[in-house]
């Protein structure tokens, strides 16, 4: 299934400035693995295996709805859109 992934500008440094990437997958885990194959290190930037959760500064959106504490086994459908947005730092 074709999934469109959008990444914030801050994360695009890992994706060679691409902010829109198309990958194949049926779960969020598949999408992360596909992204990491295309752009090595991407998964580690946004996901903490030791906590089994996305890093605190990352918001994940599925079809325009922001979600927190997602299982990597969340099912996806053909045409779904995933977004990964990194919070801005500063004061």
User: Where do the domains of the chain lie, and which CATH numbers do they carry?
Assistant: 2-86 (3.10.20.30)
**Any idea what DSSP says for residue 19?**
S
Q: What is the pLDDT, as a whole number, of residue 52?
A: 87
Q: What is the pLDDT, as a whole number, of residue 49?
A: 87
Q: What is the pLDDT, as a whole number, of residue 90?
A: 59
Render the burial of 65-79: b for 16+ CB within 10 Å, e for the rest.
eeeeeeeeeeebeee
Q: How far is CA 9 from CA 13, 43, 84, 88, in A?
A: 7, 16, 10, 11
Q: Is the pLDDT higher at 35 or at 50?
A: 35
Distance, in Å, from the CA atom of 15 to the CA atom of 26, rounded to the nearest integer, reads 21
Distance, in Å, from the CA atom of 56 to the CA atom of 62, rounded to the nearest integer, reads 17
């Amino acid at each position: 299934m074709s999934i469109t992934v959008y990444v914030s500008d801050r994360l695009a440094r890992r994706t060679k400035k691409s902010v829109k990437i198309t990958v194949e997958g049926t779960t969020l885990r598949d999408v992360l693995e596909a992204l990491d194959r295309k752009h090595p290190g991407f998964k580690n930037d946004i996901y903490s295996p030791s906590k089994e959760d996305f890093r605190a500064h990352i918001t994940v959106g599925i079809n325009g709805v922001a979600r927190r504490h997602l299982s990597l086994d969340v099912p996806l459908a053909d045409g779904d859109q995933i977004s990964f947005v990194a919070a801005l730092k500063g004061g």
